[in-house]
A = this chain, B = another copy of it.
């Protein structure tokens, strides 16, 4: 590289990230379009474009100019701001990992993902695991290869976990899940022996247009800025940023016979969107923009979904809106019935619809299955049978078909291996965040009144605005002021469900 001044290099650092953000915008939008609006027969077209754009990202990221720029900046660390240092560190790390994967495999993997996502939707609809199997086999095979390329010294599943939460490993997960399971299983047993909750209020006919009205009501209520957060429908709800945190999309799935599913998807995805859009503006178009890890992300989504959304106060707060939208269905009902219905704890088939108590068991099953596949202890073709066996063992229920079993989630078809533990960890992080928040914020009063500004301000100040400025463990350390302790979450579950079931 011909002599570059440090200011030129800092400028070039921002340009490089802007360029990457533009490609990610394009690729993210192509993915989003595929899930939302694109005609059914167009996946090959998207795959062709994705493979070319990912080749461009690969080429530009791994170019000599980029390497020289980052090395130069790394050697001049003392002239950089702390944010710039972190950008350089993350870029060097990401590009080092990218370079360890041969370009043709990198591109083929991107193309495979587009196709697999498309096949998954059809396979789920047809409840036919065999359709998806060859794609999943390829995806897992690539993951195993990539793990070896990037972290040859690491257990391959630890590599997967580390991808979604820097520093996370099986040891920590095993310890966490062990403690959780030891608390949940006996509690669930006591719940199942107690008189059961009536959840008939959630069932009936709820027209999609009315459910959509409810979605926008909830989005505004929790404080989303609809100028920057859009809503679409997809087979599987998700949240994505396009280009920067200034353009955020959430999705939901409406079921005409049960409005509660979409309602909690909105609040859950809304929590993700609050986190992303809460990044400081100066982080836009950089690698520090948006949430830092999937567990912290899930801590926010499940905070809004559960600690807020499934609380008695929230159910009371929104009940008049339910009556307005569904006057026939809500006739003779009261907020307490609604609160009990959305907290009915019982083993069920679908993770996204599970209650808070059984939810983590769904995660543990996925965690165990992923681990065994990455360790070559389980074949992809045996996944459905093992899935069903574990649902019987952990939850005591029979899985009727793959649509309600192994095909229910899109994660594996999207190449997300090691992601699931984030949900359970996020719950536990959220409980500990809430304990800290309560020291200065009257959380219950906020939820009762529907004025979430103090809650959002606390989250913005402590978590959102930092984007990916800190590592997950740095961030947790700053906010917790102590070690991570799943006890907060366990206490919350025990207290809540003992009260509901009169234990």
User: A residues near B, CB below 8 A?
Assistant: 18-19, 21-22, 25-27, 29-30, 33, 36-42, 44-46, 48-49, 52-53, 56, 225-230, 232, 242-244, 246-249, 285
Which residues of B lie under 8 Å from residue A49 when comparing CB positions? Answer: 21-22, 25-26, 243
Q: Residue A56 contacts which of B29, B36, B56, B229 (CB distance < 8 angstroms)?
A: B56
- Do A33 and B22 have beta carbons less than 8 Å apart? no
Contact of A45 among B37, B44, B247 (CB under 8 A): B247
- Minimum CB–CB distance from A499 to chain B (whole Å) comes to 40
- Bound-state Cα–Cα, A21 to B46, Å: 11
Smallest Cβ distance from A13 to chain B, in angstroms?
15
CB distance from A434 to the nearest CB of B (A): 29
Please determine whether A39 and B243 come into contact, CB atoms closer than 8 angstroms: no
* CA distance in complex: A225, B40 (Å): 10
**Complex: A27 Cα to B44 Cα, angstroms:** 18
A297 vs chain B, min Cβ distance (A): 20
Contact A227 B40 (CB under 8 A): yes
Q: Is B41's CB under 8 angstroms from A228's CB?
A: yes
Do B22 and A48 touch across chains, with their CB atoms under 8 A apart?
yes
Q: List 9 A-B contacts (CB under 8 A).
A: A25-B45, A26-B26, A26-B49, A38-B230, A39-B226, A41-B228, A41-B246, A45-B246, A46-B247
B37 touches A30 (CB 8 A): no
Whether the pair B225, A48 counts as a contact (CB closer than 8 A) is no
Known: A41-B227, A42-B242. 6 other contacts (CB 8 A): A22-B52, A25-B49, A26-B29, A39-B229, A45-B242, A45-B244
- Name the residue of chain B whose CB is nearest to the CB of A226: B39
**Distance between Cα atoms of A40 and B27 in the complex (Å):** 21
* Chain B residue contacts of A56, Cβ below 8 A: 56
Which residues of chain B have C-beta atoms less than 8 A from A41's C-beta? Answer: 225, 227-228, 246
Q: Which residue of B lies closest to A56 (CB)?
A: B56
A354 to B40 CA separation, bound complex (whole angstroms): 34
Which residue on chain B has the smallest CB distance to residue A60? B56
The smallest C-beta distance from A364 to any residue of chain B, in angstroms, reads 36
On whether the beta carbons of B226 and A45 are closer than 8 Å, the reply is: no
Residues of B within 8 A of A246 (CB): 41-42, 44-45
Whether the pair B227, A52 counts as a contact (CB closer than 8 A) is no
Q: How far is the CB of A172 from chain B (nearest CB, A)?
A: 37
Query: Smallest CB–CB gap between A19 and chain B, Å?
Result: 6
Say whether A48 contacts B247, CB under 8 Å.
Answer: no
Nearest B residue to A24, CB-CB? B49
Q: Which of A22, A46, A246 counts the most chain B CB atoms within 10 A?
A: A22
Instruction: Decide yes or no: A243 and B37 within 8 Å by CB, A26-B29, A30-B29 being known contacts.
Output: no
Nearest residue in B to A30 (C-beta to C-beta)? Answer: B29
Interchain CA distance A244-B49 in the complex, whole Å: 10
Neighbour of A247 across the interface among B25, B26, B38, CB < 8 A = B38
Residues of B within 8 A of A230 (CB): 37-39
Nearest CB in chain B to that of A42: its residue: B247
Q: Which of B37, B39, B232, B285 contacts A227 (CB 8 A)?
A: B39
Contact partners of A52 in chain B: CB under 8 A: 18-19, 22
Shortest distance from the beta carbon of A43 to any chain B beta carbon, whole Å: 9
Smallest CB-CB A-B distances: 8 pairs: A41-B227, A26-B26, A22-B52, A42-B247, A22-B49, A39-B230, A25-B49, A45-B247
Determine which of B25, B45, B225 lies in contact with A243 in the assembled complex, contact meaning CB atoms within 8 Å.
B45
In the complex, what's the smallest C-beta–C-beta distance from A139 to chain B, in angstroms? 23
A3 to chain B, nearest CB (A): 23
Smallest CB separation, A452 vs chain B (Å): 20
A27 to B23, CA, bound (A): 11
Q: A22-B53, A37-B37, A247-B39 are in contact. Are A285 and B48 (CB under 8 A)?
A: yes
Instruction: State A44–B243 Cα separation when bound (angstroms).
Output: 10
Q: How far is the CA of A285 from the CA of B44 in the complex (A)?
A: 12
